[in-house]
């Protein structure tokens, strides 16, 4: 795909100079769209835009990827926003059916997007939080593990490969903009929302992985995808979920330079297309009651002037608690633009944002020139991914691209290489007597699929293995009875799922009375192997287990990798990308060679 025109880059440099001028200077006078030096495609798109159209181009709304009925209220809302308001883009999100999170299907996503592109006056730029590949939002695509698994494997080539595959699958579905990689340095074990979404706690190692993913996503010019580093200026050292409240990063400027900003600098140097802001306060940079998303000191002075970033600045979702608890949706939109943002992501009321920004322009708080600066950048990005030439995707070609066998094999290899053995007292790993071992799956809820693949893999190796699943809904009495039925076991292998999710407020640990149940197993005096599928910090709560394995992800490939490691079918070669306070240091990892031939999932050896 063509790169941004040189003259547009020069224009944006002039824009930056204007934005970094002292606040006391009067705002620039409104400028006609025709005076902007942009490409022919951008000029053509902007030529017929009213101020209201321009403001709407800055707004991205969410969609689920399903195909709502044309007479439904949901579809009428899309017609209003896309055909009526002319919003600039969409973001694919999951939805809940009341019990479990639902993902979209590839063909449904592509068909819906073709439908929306058909009614859009200007092609829509479509985005997605594809943090572990497209599979984070769409079924039947390549399933990669979480970022921290890549950190444990320690090979940036894996991230580069993930970038290539994610870009290819994204473009096949009609998504051009990937909100990844995560550039946050997770150096706070109590972080409830970043955790395994981060590559780790070492800024330089995180920077390597960030760079590799960006390079991979940009490597195929026919499937070029826009990339995004997030959450600026760093969300790793906080114990607050910004979906619920505004967080605070307390480090001084020197600390920010040495830790939080390192991966962002690397991403910018690698040519990242966008930076996503964080809804957190950074007192070292701006007033403590102003989130970075709304701070000129952070988005303009630091990101643009000091770090030299010239690409798109996108807010994190404006519907999150870190914003809506302190600002109205319209005021948040205006302040984000004043701060230096270009894209207003998922405001609770797009119409209210449009009105508020129009009022701000009419009142002199913002200028039309300021709006057009961001519009020009967004439209240039649309041109960069070829939307000026082709806005529809080939539905029949999707099956030739997504969920490729070779991509899934590589994803499994990554999950295998990520498995890290942190403790192995008495060497219970690999299992000496699998047939005498009881396997306990501790899932996060009764309705999900966690542990199903783990159970299947165990029973493929030991047909009559004792495998039980416990979930937080079980009472303490029920769990005590369940544990008593396992008294005859020679050892216990406990697969504990602890994921990271929005709106929980606490770091993922075992729920309900599952901690009590695990302590009962430990008290039995037999070897207990704790396998953490997800949050690696679980060991802090159970320091007396005999052995501790970490996979750093909850996805099925990590379940398979865990079983392979337990049964001695793969080399255990991962290293901790984080410190587990009081238990293990960064870089720890007991190396164990495989003792059995690898059993290939699906049959055969």
Please, how many CA atoms are within 13 Å of residue 495, restricted to the half-sphere of its CB? Answer: 32
Mean pLDDT of the region 190-204:
94
Interior/surface letters 454-467, b for 16+ CB within 10 angstroms, e for the rest = bbebbeebbeebbb
Phi-psi region for residue 241, left (φ > 0), alpha (ψ -120 to 50) or beta? Answer: beta
The architecture in CATH of the region 419-566 reads 3-Layer(aba) Sandwich (3.40)
Residue range 6-21+28-400, CATH number: 3.20.20.300
**Per-residue pLDDT, 156:** 98
Structure confidence by residue, pLDDT tens digits, 50-92: 999 999 999 999 999 988 999 999 999 999 999 999 999 999 9
Task: List the single range of 12-26, 84-98, 316-330, 507-521 with lowest mean pLDDT.
Answer: 12-26
Is pLDDT at 174 greater than 70 in this prediction? Answer: yes
Mean pLDDT of 322-336: 95
How far is it, in rounded angstroms, from Cα 129 to Cα 91? Answer: 8
pLDDT at 599: 79
Q: Is the pLDDT of residue 602 over 90?
A: no
Please, what is the end-to-end C-alpha distance for the chain in angstroms? 43
By percentage, how much of the chain surpasses pLDDT 70? 91
- The DSSP code sequence of 563-587 is HHHHTT-S-B----SS-BTTTB-TT
- Of 26, 32, 36, residue with least CA distance to 51: 32
pLDDT at residue 242, as a whole number: 64
Q: What is the pLDDT of residue 328?
A: 96
> Which residues are the active-site residues?
243, 316
Q: Where are the beta strands (DSSP E) in 148-249?
A: 177-178, 228-232, 247-248
pLDDT at 136 over 70: yes
Q: Please, are residues 510 and 496 in contact by the beta-carbon 8 Å criterion?
A: yes
* pLDDT of amino acid 239: 72
Confidence of residue 19 (pLDDT cuts 50, 70, 90): very low
For range 396-423, the mean pLDDT? 98
Residue 503 has pLDDT above 70, yes or no: no
Residues of the chain with CATH 3.20.20.300: 6-21+28-400
DSSP alpha helices (H): ranges in 341-451? 350-362, 368-384, 405-418
Q: pLDDT for 537-581, tens place per residue?
A: 999 999 999 999 999 999 999 999 999 999 999 999 999 999 999
DSSP state of 604: -
pLDDT at 258 over 50: yes
Q: How many CA atoms lie within 13 A of 90 on its CB side?
A: 26
Q: What is the pLDDT, as a whole number, of residue 507?
A: 56
Does the structure show a pLDDT above 60 at 603?
A: no
Residue ranges, comma separated, of all CATH 3.40.50.1700 domains in the chain are 419-566
- DSSP secondary structure letters along 374-406: HHHHHHHHHHHTTTTT-----GGGGGGTTT-HH
Query: Is pLDDT of 27 > 50?
Result: no
Q: Which residues pair with 126 in a beta bridge?
A: 90
Q: In terms of C-beta density within 10 A (0-12 exposed, 13-18 middle, 19 or more buried), how is residue 515 classed?
A: middle
* Average pLDDT over all residues of the chain: 91
Any idea which of 98-112, 218-232, 294-308, 470-484 has the lowest mean pLDDT?
98-112
Strands 101-102 vs 420-424: parallel, antiparallel or unpaired: unpaired
For residue range 432-491, list pLDDT tens digits in order.
999 999 999 999 988 889 999 999 999 999 999 999 999 999 999 999 999 999 999 999
| 508 closest CA partner among 516, 498, 518 | 498
DSSP for 203-231, written as a single string: HHHHHHHHHHHHHHHHS-GGG--B-EEEE
Q: What is the pTM of this model?
A: 0.92
């Amino acid at each position: 795909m063509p790169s941004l025109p040189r003259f547009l880059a020069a224009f944006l440099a002039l824009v930056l100079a204007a934005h970094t001028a002292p606040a006391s200077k009067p705002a620039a006078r409104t400028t006609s769209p025709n005076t902007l030096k942009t490409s022919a495609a951008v000029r053509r798109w902007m030529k017929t835009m009213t101020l209201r159209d321009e403001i709407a181009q800055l707004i991205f709304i969410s969609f689920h990827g399903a195909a709502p009925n044309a007479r439904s209220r949901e579809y009428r809302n899309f017609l209003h926003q896309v055909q009526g308001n002319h919003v600039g883009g969409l973001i694919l999100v999951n939805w809940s059916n009341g019990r479990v999170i639902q993902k979209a299907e590839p063909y449904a996503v592509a068909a819906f997007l073709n439908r929306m592109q058909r009614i859009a006056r200007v092609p829509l730029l479509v985005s997605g939080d594809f943090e572990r590949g497209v599979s984070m939002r769409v079924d039947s695509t390549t399933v990669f593990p979480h970022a921290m698994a890549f950190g444990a494997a320690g090979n940036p080539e894996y991230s580069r490969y993930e970038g290539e595959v994610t870009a290819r699958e994204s473009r096949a579905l009609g998504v051009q903009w990937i909100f990844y990689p995560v550039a946050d340095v997770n150096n706070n074990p109590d972080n409830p929302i970043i955790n395994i979404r981060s590559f780790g706690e070492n800024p330089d190692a995180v920077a390597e992985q960030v760079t590799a993913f960006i390079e991979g996503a940009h490597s195929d010019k026919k499937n070029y995808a826009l990339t995004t580093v997030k959450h600026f200026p760093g969300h790793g050292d906080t114990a607050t979920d910004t979906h619920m409240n505004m967080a605070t990063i307390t480090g001084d400027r020197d600390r920010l330079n040495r830790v939080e900003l390192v991966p962002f600098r690397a991403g910018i140097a690698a040519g990242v297309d966008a930076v996503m802001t964080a809804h957190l306060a950074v007192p070292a940079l701006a007033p403590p009651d102003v989130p970075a998303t709304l701070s000129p000191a952070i988005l303009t002075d630091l990101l643009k002037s000091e770090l030299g970033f010239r690409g798109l600045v996108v807010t994190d979702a404006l519907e999150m608690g870190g914003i809506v608890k302190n600002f109205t949706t319209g005021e948040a939109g205006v302040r984000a633009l004043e701060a230096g943002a270009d894209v207003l992501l998922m405001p609770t009321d797009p119409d209210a944002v449009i009105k508020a920004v129009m009022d701000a322009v009419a009142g002199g708080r913002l200028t039309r020139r300021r709006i057009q600066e961001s519009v020009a950048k967004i439209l240039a990005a649309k041109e960069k991914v070829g939307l000026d030439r082709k806005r529809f995707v080939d539905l029949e070609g999707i099956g030739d691209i997504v969920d490729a066998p070779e991509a899934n094999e590589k994803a499994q290899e990554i999950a295998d290489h990520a498995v890290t053995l942190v403790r192995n007292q008495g060497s219970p790993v690999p299992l000496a007597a699998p047939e005498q071992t009881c396997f306990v799956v501790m899932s996060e809820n009764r309705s999900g699929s966690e542990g199903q693949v783990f159970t299947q893999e165990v029973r493929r190796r030991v047909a009559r293995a004792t495998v039980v699943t416990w979930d937080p809904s079980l009472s303490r009495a029920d769990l005590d009875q369940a544990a008593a039925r396992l008294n005859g076991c020679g050892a216990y292998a406990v697969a504990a799922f602890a994921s990271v999710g929005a709106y929980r407020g606490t770091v993922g640990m075992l729920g309900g009375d599952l901690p009590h149940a695990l302590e009962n197993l430990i008290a039995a005096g037999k070897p207990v192997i704790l396998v953490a599928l997800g949050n690696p910090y679980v060991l802090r709560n159970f320091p007396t287990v005999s052995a501790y394995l970490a996979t750093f992800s909850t996805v099925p490939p990590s379940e398979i990798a865990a079983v392979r490691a337990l049964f001695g079918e793969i080399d255990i070669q991962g290293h901790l990308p984080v410190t587990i306070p009081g238990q293990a240091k960064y870089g720890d990892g007991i190396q164990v060679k495989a003792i059995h031939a690898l059993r290939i999932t699906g049959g055969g050896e």
